[in-house]
């Protein structure tokens, strides 16, 4: 059985990463989406262990001390991290793993595991990103401006990624993600190893 690959998806808050991933998962069943741990409060409708592992700051610090994360970072006043054990077990089962994490964490993982494929999801325009953040209705105007400032920093790291997907429409972005997953499993060395040459 082939081992799964790890794909990291990043992009500014409000770009629509979650919506694109949802559509991708309707096409691909053998994919595990990593559930991050966070210290931010749960939003309405979010469930512990499904959307995030919601931890208090003390527990999060304990997990760091135990080296239980592939990566961890602070973002807009809260901590986020990717638990190792769930990612590794899914890959061992032959499933591809998708991690939806911010840029700082993505670069940490790429340093530890260079075989990780990095995908940056970008909006079609800056104005569209601001519009989406506003329409989402979850943040104050001050928080939106904070997220936009953070997005400018994130864009500066986009050239460290292997692929950029423009989320002009959810359908197009999901189709491009699907194509990237397929292409990464068609690499020459991997295919030749399967054939036995």
Classify residue 35: in a domain, yes or no: yes
Classify residue 1: in a domain, yes or no: no
pLDDT at 29 (0 to 100): 87
- Tell whether the model's pLDDT for residue 80 goes beyond 70: yes
Residues of the chain with pLDDT > 90: what percent?
A: 61
The residues, ordered by sequence, that sit 6+ positions from 129 with a Cβ below 8 Å of its Cβ are: 12, 14, 15, 123, 148, 151
3-state secondary structure 65-134: HCCCEEEEEEECCEEEEEEHHHHHHHHHCCCEEEEECCHHHHHHHHHHCCCCEEEEEECCCHHHHHHHHH
**H or E stretch at 18:** helix 17-27
Q: Which of 69-73, 123-127, 169-173 has the highest mean pLDDT?
A: 169-173
Q: What angle do CA 131, 165, 36 make, to 5 degrees?
A: 80
Question: Residues 128-138: what's their mean pLDDT?
Answer: 85
This prediction has a pTM of 0.82
Classify residue 139: in a domain, yes or no: yes
Number of domains in the chain: 1
Q: Is the dihedral angle over the CA atoms 14, 17, 18, 23 positive or is it negative?
A: positive
Classify residue 72: in a domain, yes or no: yes
CATH, residue 120? 3.40.50.300
Structural domain containing residue 114? 6-195
Classify residue 15: in a domain, yes or no: yes
- Tell whether the model's pLDDT for residue 196 goes beyond 70: no
The rounded mean pLDDT for the chain is 90
pLDDT band at 191 (very low <50, low <70, confident <90, very high): low
């Amino acid at each position: 059985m082939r081992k799964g690959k790890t794909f990291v998806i990043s992009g500014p808050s409000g770009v629509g990463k979650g919506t694109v991933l949802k559509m991708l998962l309707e096409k691909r069943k053998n994919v595990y989406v990593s559930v991050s741990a966070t210290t931010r409060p749960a939003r309405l409708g979010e469930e512990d262990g499904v959307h995030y592992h919601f931890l208090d700051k003390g527990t999060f610090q304990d997990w760091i001390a135990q080296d239980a994360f592939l990566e961890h970072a602070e973002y807009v006043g809260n901590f986020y991290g990717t638990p190792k054990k769930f990612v590794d077990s899914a890959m061992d089962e032959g499933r591809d793993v998708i991690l939806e994490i911010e840029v700082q964490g993505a670069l940490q993982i790429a340093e530890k595991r260079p075989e990780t494929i990095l995908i940056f999801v970008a909006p079609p325009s800056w104005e569209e990103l601001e519009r989406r953040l506003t329409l989402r209705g979850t943040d104050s105007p001050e928080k939106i401006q904070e997220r936009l400032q953070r997005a400018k920093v994130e864009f500066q790291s986009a050239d460290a990624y292997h692929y950029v997907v423009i989320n002009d429409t959810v359908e197009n972005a999901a189709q491009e993600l699907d194509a990237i997953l397929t292409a990464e499993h068609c690499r020459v060395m991997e295919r030749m190893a399967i054939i036995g040459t």
